[in-house]
Amino acid sequence: MTRVGIVAVGQSKFGELWEHSLRDLAVDAGNAVFKDLDTQTKGNITKKNIEGLFVGNMGAGSMAKQSHLGSLVSDYVGITGVPAVRCEGACSSGALAFRHAFHTIKSGEMDVAMVLGIEKMTDIDSNHVLNALMEAGDFEWESLAGLTFTGLYALMARRHMKEFGTTRNQLSLISVNNHKNGVKNPYAQFRGEITIEDVEKSTLIADPLRTLDCSPITDGAASVIIASEEFIKKNKLDNVAWILSSSAATDRIGFFNRRSIVELDATKLAVKRVIEKDRVNMKNIGVTEVHDCFSINELVALEDLGFCEKGKGGKFIEQGEIKLDGQIPTNTTGGLKSIGHPVGATGVRQLIDITKQIRGDSLNQLKNVNQGLALNIGGIGTTSVIHVLGKD
């Protein structure tokens, strides 16, 4: 089967975009990715080459009163006529859409496909947003009992603290690092640095998680265009991020029913497949984007991916290993915490940032990055999707 590579990337601004509708966001991301496509291919490839569209979105029907996004997006980005489908997997919807597009090209069905992740969240009140997001959890057994995702992740954090001695200070360092990385990001919702004191004095949401431990409610869209190796070679494209691995796994939906609440089995299963099936050597990963919807999730992700031992995530972070000059630079342009979290778009945005590191044009460019990993999570680790990108 053919190899597949990312040939163009683009995104809208992320934030509380009151003046933007859902379709405006799609147009912004579409225009951005087509502009990059023109630059990367010197005008030789255009939207006319796109054979399929895969839209990642969680809650447009609930939050924007708009379903049938395949048709809406294809219409407004100007590629009507091609097969277009919406993919949903809670906050991992964007990465799942990308994974479907990847396998469609790998099978030989298409040569070029567009993936666009999108969410419009700020046109409704926050209680409505929280209720819509909790549809990604066990609504009958947990949400109706009053649990929110903040509450569920707070349980994870408390248990991690009890079992491994993880400290409040170590959690705060995650948010501090991500905000620092987002300062130069023109697409980010929040571009100011914060301190440990800022985090620990921010409003308590669900003990121990405070406002600055939590990703914000965000509008935004992100898009990539991917193509088969044959198409890439035929058109002599040389600035490509190759997809070295695509893996996903799913856990039980109820957090109460999990084997453990301090590790996410779906992530551990997905990365196991990356290593065993796709023969990825994790020691070659030079940069990672992990799903920091809450600070504890980034810490647990680093452990479950194998970058540090279980229970040692707090020390790993405290030692500066996730900084731009650390062992595994993480969320190098700000992560969900600084950039924002339009849930259907996040997984695609992560892939954009890894692609730019591979291409050498990231706003916080690292040296000698040959491979990068993106982990997009839906629910409370219910769905984990991992992609590894590389130069060859």
**What are 238-289's pLDDT values in tens digits?**
999 999 999 999 999 999 999 999 999 999 999 999 999 999 999 999 999 9
pLDDT value, residue 190: 97
Question: What is the rounded average pLDDT of the residues 91-106?
Answer: 98
Q: What percent of the chain has pLDDT over 70?
A: 100
Cβ proximity of 117 and 57 under 8 Å:
yes
123: Cα within 13 Å, side-chain hemisphere: 18
Residue 195 in this model has a pLDDT that exceeds 80: yes
pLDDT value, residue 363: 96
Question: What is the rounded average pLDDT of the residues 353-381?
Answer: 97
- Looking at the whole model, is its pTM more than 0.85? yes
Residue 192 to residues 126, 186, 274, 339, 349: CA-CA distances in angstroms?
23, 12, 35, 11, 20
Residue 126 in this model has a pLDDT that exceeds 90: no
pLDDT value, residue 256: 92
Question: What is the rounded average pLDDT of the residues 47-55?
Answer: 97
Question: What is the rounded average pLDDT of the residues 385-389?
Answer: 98
Beta-carbon contacts of 125 under 8 Å, excluding residues fewer than 6 positions away, are none
pLDDT digits (tens, 9 = 90+) for 166-182: 999 999 999 999 999 99
Report the C-alpha gap between 59 and 347 in whole angstroms.
Answer: 15
pLDDT value, residue 134: 87
Confidence bin at 120 (pLDDT 50/70/90): very high
- Domains, in order of start, for the chain: 4-125+218-242 (3.40.47.10), 126-215+244-390 (3.40.47.10)
164: Cα within 13 Å, side-chain hemisphere: 24
Token couple for 40: 């990367």
Residue 1 in this model has a pLDDT that exceeds 80: no
pLDDT value, residue 368: 92
Question: What is the rounded average pLDDT of the residues 109-114?
Answer: 98
pLDDT value, residue 320: 98
Report the C-alpha gap between 388 and 354 in whole angstroms.
Answer: 9
Cβ proximity of 228 and 101 under 8 Å:
no
Average pLDDT, rounded, for the chain: 96
Indicate the burial class of 162 (C-beta count within 10 angstroms; 0-12, 13-18, 19 or more): exposed
pLDDT value, residue 22: 97
Catalytic positions are 91, 341
Q: Which of 310, 348, 272, 62 lies closest to 166, judged by CA?
A: 310
Q: Which of 291, 249, 342 lies closest to 26, judged by CA?
A: 342
pLDDT value, residue 133: 87
